[in-house]
Structure 1
Amino acid sequence: MCQPPGFENLQSSHVFKLNKALYGLKQAPRAWYEKLSSFLVGNGFVRGKIDNTLFKKELKNNFLIIQIYVDDIIFGGTNEGLCQEFAKLMHDEFEMSMMGELKFFLGLQIVQSNEGIQIHQTKYAKELLKKYKMEDAKPMKTPMHTSCALKLDELSTDVDQTQYRGMIGSLLYLTATRPDIMFSVCVYARFQSQPREVHLKAVKGIFRYFKGTINLDLTFRRSQDFSLLGYCDADYAGDRWERKSTNGGCHFLGSNLVSWMSKRQSTIALSTCEAEYVSAKHCCTQLLWIKHQLEDYDIFESSIPILCDNTAAISLSKNPVMHSIAKHIEIKHHFVRDHIQKGTFELMFVNTEEQLAYIFTKPLPKDRFVKLRQNLGLEPVIG
Structure 2
Amino acid sequence: MVNAMLLHAKLNFNLWGEALLTTYYILNRIPMKKNEISPYELWKGRKPNIGYFKVWGCLAYCKKTDPNKTKLGPRAIKCAFVGYASNSKAYRLLDLESNVIIESREVEFFENLLSDSNSQVPTSVGESQEETPSKVVEQPIVPRKSQRARKEKVLGSDEIDSQRISFYLVEGNREDIIRKIPIVLQIEEDPKTYKEAMASRDVAFWKEAINDEMDSIMSNQTWELVDLPPGSKPIGCKWVFRRKYHTDGMIQTFKARLVAKGFKQREGIDYFDTYAPVARTTSIRILFALASIHNLFVHQMDVKTAFLNGDLNEEVYMEQPEGFVLLGNENKVCKLVKSLYGLKQAPKQWHEKFDHAILSDGFRHNNVDKCLYSKTCDDYMVIVCLYVDDMLILSDDMRGIIETKRFLSSTFKMKDLGEVDTILGIKVKRNSGGYALNQTHYIEKVVSKFSHLKIKDANTPFDSSIKLEKNDGRSVAQLEYASAIGSLMYAAQCTRADISFAVSKLSRFTSNPSVEHWKAIGRVLGYLKNTKELSLQYSKFPTIIEGYSDASWISSVGDNLSTTDWVFTLGGGAVSWGSKKQTCISHSTMEAEFIALAATRKEAEWLRDLMMDIPFTANNVSTVSIHCDSQATLARAYSGVYNGKSRHISIRHEYVRQLIQNGIISISFVRSSGNLADPFTKPLTRDLVRITSRGMGLKLLK
Question: 1:119 touches 1:177 (CA, 8 Å); kept in 2?
Answer: yes
The one-letter code matched in structure 1 to 2:503 is: V
Aligned partner of 1:25: which letter? F
2:381 maps to 1:63: yes
In structure 2, relative to structure 1, the CA distance for the partners of 1:237 and 1:32 (3 Å cut) is same
Contact 1:316 1:326 in 2 (8 A): no
Q: Paired residue for 2:230? A: 10
Q: Matched residues in 2 for 1:158 and 1:39: separation?
A: 51
1:240 aligns with 2:557: yes
What is the alpha-carbon distance in structure 2 between the residues aligned to residue 65 and residue 142 of structure 1?
Answer: 38
Shift of 1:326: 1.5
Instruction: Give the direction of change, closer, same or farther, for the CA distance of 1:59–1:193 in structure 2 (3 Å limit).
Output: same
What CA deviation, in whole Å up to 9, does each residue of 1:334-374 have, x standing for no partner? 43223123332111111122111111100111111211111
Separation in 2, partners of 1:56, 1:235: 40
Tell me whether 1:107 sits opposite 2:389 in the alignment.
no
Q: Distance in 2 between matches of 1:272 and 1:140?
A: 31
1:235–1:362 contact (8 Å) kept in structure 2: yes
Conserved? CA contact 2:540–2:571, under 8 Å? no
Q: Report what 2:46 is aligned to.
A: none
Which residue does the alignment assign to 1:124? 442
Within 2, Cα distance between the matches of 1:195 and 1:189? 9
The within-5 A match list for 1:91-102 is: 91-102=409-420
Residues 132 and 12 (structure 1 numbering): CA distance in 2 closer, same or farther, change over 3 Å?
Answer: closer
Equivalences for residues 228-267 of structure 1 within 5 A: 228-267=545-584
Q: Which moved more, 1:270-279 or 1:191-200?
A: 191-200
- Match of residue 165 from structure 1: 482
2:676 to 344, 349, 356: 356
Pick aligned residue for 2:511 from 185, 193, 205: 193
Secondary structure in 2 aligned to 1:149? Answer: coil
CA separation of 1:39/1:192 partners in 2, compared to 1, >3 Å: closer, same or farther?
same
Within 5 A, what are the aligned runs for 1:358-373?
A: 358-373=678-693
Match of 1:321 in 2: 641
Aligned to 1:72: 390
Alignment of 1:198-347 (within 5 A): 198-223=516-541, 225-297=542-614, 298-299=618-619, 301-329=621-649, 331-332=651-652, 334-347=654-667
| SS state at 1:221 partner | coil
1:247 aligns to what SS in structure 2? strand
Distance 2:597 2:507 in 1: 23
The superposition leaves residues 195-245 of structure 1 with CA deviations (integer Å, 9 ceiling, x where unpaired) of 11111111111001111111111111134x432211001111122232211
Deviations 1:105-163 (A, max 9, x none): 111111012310110111110001111115963201101111222111335x5301100
**Matched positions, count:** 375
Distance change in 2, residues 1:125/1:14 (3 Å)? closer
1:68 alignment partner, SS class = strand
Farther off after superposition, 214-223 or 331-340 = 331-340
Matched, 1:380 2:691: no
Q: What amino acid sits opposite 2:381 in the alignment?
A: F
- Structure 2, unaligned runs of 5 or more: 1-221, 239-256, 261-304, 309-338, 340-345
Deviation, structure 1 residue 62: 1.0
Residues 241-265 of structure 1: per-residue CA shift (max 9 Å, x gap):
3221111111122433211111111
Query: Normalization by structure 1: what TM-score?
Result: 0.91
CA pair 159-255 structure 1, distance change in 2 beyond 3 A: same
**Using a 3 Å threshold, how does the CA distance of structure 1 residues 162 and 359 change in structure 2: closer, same or farther?**
same
Distance 2:511 2:237 in 1: 42
Contact 1:53 1:69 (8 Å CA) reproduced: yes
Tell me, in whole angstroms, the C-alpha distance in 2 between the residues paired with 1:200 and 1:34.
44
CA-CA distance at 1:299 after TM superposition: 4.3
Counterpart of 1:171 in 2: which secondary structure? helix
Rounded to whole Å, the distance in 2 between the matches of 1:300 and 1:125 is 37
Q: Do the aligned partners of residues 57 and 331 (structure 1) sit closer, same or farther apart at CA in structure 2, a change above 3 Å counting?
A: closer
Higher relative contact order (CA 8 A, sep 6+): 1
Q: Tell me by how many angstroms 1:331 deviates.
A: 2.9
Whether the 8 Å CA contact 1:47–1:54 is kept in 2: the answer is yes
Structure 1 runs of 4+ aligned residues shifted over 4 Å read 11-19
Instruction: For residues 259-293 of structure 1, give each alpha carbon's deviation from its aligned partner in whole angstroms, at most 9, with x where no partner exists.
Output: 11111111111000000000101110001000111
Offset at 1:24? 5.4
**Matched residues in 1 for 2:378 and 2:505: separation?**
50
State yes or no: 1:20 paired with 2:261.
no
Residue aligning to 1:5? none
Once the two structures are TM-superposed, the CA of residue 89 in structure 1 deviates from its matched residue by: 1.8
Of 173-182 and 328-337, more deviation after overlay is shown by: 328-337
Letter in 2 for 1:212: N
Q: 1:36 to 1:24 in 2, by over 3 A?
A: closer
Question: Do 1:129 and 1:135's aligned partners in 2 also have CA atoms closer than 8 Å?
Answer: no
Structure 1: how far apart are the matches of 2:518 and 2:401?
Answer: 48
Unaligned runs of 5+ residues in structure 1 are 3-7
Q: Structure 1 43/306 Cα, relative in aligned 2: closer, same or farther at 3 Å?
A: same
Identity %: 29
Report if the CA contact (8 A) 1:309-1:352 is conserved.
Answer: yes
CA distance in 1, matches of 2:534, 2:656: 35
Q: 1:17 to 1:359 in 2, by over 3 A?
A: closer
Q: Distance in 2 between matches of 1:328 and 1:46?
A: 41
SS at match of 2:258: coil
Backbone CA RMSD of aligned residues: 2.4
TM-score (norm 2): 0.51
User: Is the 8 Å Cα contact of residues 306 and 350 (structure 2) preserved in structure 1?
Assistant: no
**Which structure: greater helix fraction?**
1
Change (3 A) 1:381 1:114: closer
Aligned residues of 1:64 and 1:77 also touching (Cα < 8 A):
yes
**One-letter amino acid of the counterpart of residue 326, structure 1:** S
Q: Is 1:41 the equivalent of 2:359?
A: yes
User: Partner amino acid for 1:370?
Assistant: R
Task: Give the Å deviation of 1:16.
Answer: 7.2
C-alpha change, 1:158 and 1:318, in structure 2 (3 Å) is same
Please say if residues 634 and 669 of structure 2, whose CA atoms lie closer than 8 Å, have aligned partners that are also in contact.
yes
Question: What is the distance in 1 between the residues matched to 2:583 and 2:231?
Answer: 56
- Structure showing greater radius of gyration is 2
Instruction: Give the C-alpha shift of residue 12 in structure 1.
Output: 7.8
**In structure 2, how many angstroms separate the alpha carbons of the residues matched to 1:13 and 1:138?**
56
Amino acid at match of 1:94: F
1:72-113 Cα shifts (integer Å, max 9, x gaps): 221121111221222122222211111111111111111012
Question: Paired residue for 2:466?
Answer: 148
